[in-house]
């Protein structure tokens, strides 16, 4: 029975990361639409999905009771804007030929999250993890020196998702309830963007265009489904498995960016990513060592929630 649950967890988790990995192919279908408008629809339809899911789960009362907890509501408000900005930046990156750079951000993020834990949660950072962080930083510096340009998409995604994860860990709220509230809190901005885009005709979506409307609705669902899959799967498997699986998404992003979207991948890119990949190997090995000693149980709950 335990093995069956683990297999289900592995299926859910891998499915989540595969969907995240291939999403650039979907967002490219909407390349003619302004990224801000895509993100607004993404948030709105994801909200509808999460609300429906929580009603089915009979968690509506839990949402209302949570509203009374001011500290958690403040944290969820902050996390909502971090999440919205992250979604926007990724869509923008896909539709402006920056998928390779976006993948860099998601490769670096787990290491950056450990540093945030050390700074804000007083978690201990092992020497080998410091080495991993320094190697990842060196990889970014190589890009900056080699091209004289800051890879701000990669840095932006790293910062946004890193701090988003930090707020989620501190708030300790059920993941689906939290996501429902996060998308709810963004709705006023969503409606403003959608109305303003109509008035100013930002990358017009014809009101009678069923094709684009359908794609935007599907985009919201594709935003929500992998999050749901991940929240379900992470409860059933070891964190060390997640440590491996989480690199499926940026790896698929990188492959799509290079071989399908034909983005530039020069020798400097390769050297930069080599530093980052080496840092990840060190990071994963340090995690395996940590969990083999039976110290990973507490982190699993924090990661999920």
pLDDT digits (tens, 9 = 90+) for 28-65: 999 988 899 999 999 999 999 999 998 888 776 677 77
Q: Which of 153, 149, 143, 155 is nearest to 268 (CA)?
A: 143
Which structural domain range is residue 129 located in? 2-304
Angstrom distance (rounded) from CA 72 to CA 66: 8
The per-residue pLDDT for 303 is 34
Q: Which of 54, 87, 42, 27 is nearest to 217 (CA)?
A: 42
Helices (H), the chain: 2-27, 35-56, 60-66, 70-94, 99-121, 127-147, 152-171, 175-185, 187-200, 210-233, 239-245, 248-255, 267-292, 297-304
pLDDT tens, position by position, 152-208 = 999 999 999 999 989 988 888 888 889 999 999 999 999 999 888 777 755 555 555
Angstrom distance (rounded) from CA 34 to CA 291: 44
* pTM across the whole model: 0.88
Phi, psi of 214 (to 5 degrees): -65, -45
Q: Which of 104, 118, 216, 121 is nearest to 161 (CA)?
A: 104
Q: Which of 168, 176, 183 is nearest to 303 (CA)?
A: 168
**Domains of the chain: total:** 1
Question: Percent of the chain scored above 70 by pLDDT?
Answer: 89
Three-state DSSP class for residue 262? coil
The per-residue pLDDT for 301 is 34
């Amino acid at each position: 029975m335990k093995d069956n649950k683990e297999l289900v967890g592995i299926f859910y988790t891998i499915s989540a990361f595969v969907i995240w990995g291939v999403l650039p192919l979907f967002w490219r279908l909407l390349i003619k639409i302004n990224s801000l408008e895509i993100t607004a629809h993404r948030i709105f339809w994801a909200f509808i999905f999460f609300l429906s899911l929580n009603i089915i789960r009979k968690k509506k009362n839990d949402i209302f009771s949570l509203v009374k907890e001011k500290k958690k509501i403040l944290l969820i408000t902050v996390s909502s804007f971090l999440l919205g900005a992250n979604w926007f930046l990724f869509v923008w990156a896909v539709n402006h030929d920056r998928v390779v750079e976006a993948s860099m951000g998601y490769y670096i993020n787990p290491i950056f999250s450990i540093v945030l834990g050390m700074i804000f949660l007083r978690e201990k950072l092992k020497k080998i993890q410091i080495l991993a962080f320094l190697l990842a930083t060196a990889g970014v510096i190589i890009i900056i020196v080699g091209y004289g340009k800051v890879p701000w998409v990669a840095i932006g995604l790293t910062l946004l998702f890193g701090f988003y994860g930090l707020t989620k860990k501190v708030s300790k709220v059920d993941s689906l309830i939290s996501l429902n509230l996060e998308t709810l809190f963004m709705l006023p901005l969503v409606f403003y963007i959608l109305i303003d885009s109509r008035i100013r005709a930002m990358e017009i979506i014809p009101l009678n265009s069923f094709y684009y409307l359908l794609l935007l609705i599907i985009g919201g669902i594709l935003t929500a489904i992998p999050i749901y899959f991940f929240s379900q799967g992470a409860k059933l498997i070891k964190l060390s498995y997640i440590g491996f699986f989480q690199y499926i998404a940026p790896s698929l992003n990188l492959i799509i960016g290079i071989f399908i979207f034909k983005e530039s991948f020069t020798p400097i890119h390769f050297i930069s990513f080599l530093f980052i990949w080496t840092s990840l190997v060190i990071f994963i090995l340090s995690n395996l060592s940590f969990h083999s000693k039976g110290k990973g149980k507490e982190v699993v709950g924090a990661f999920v929630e």
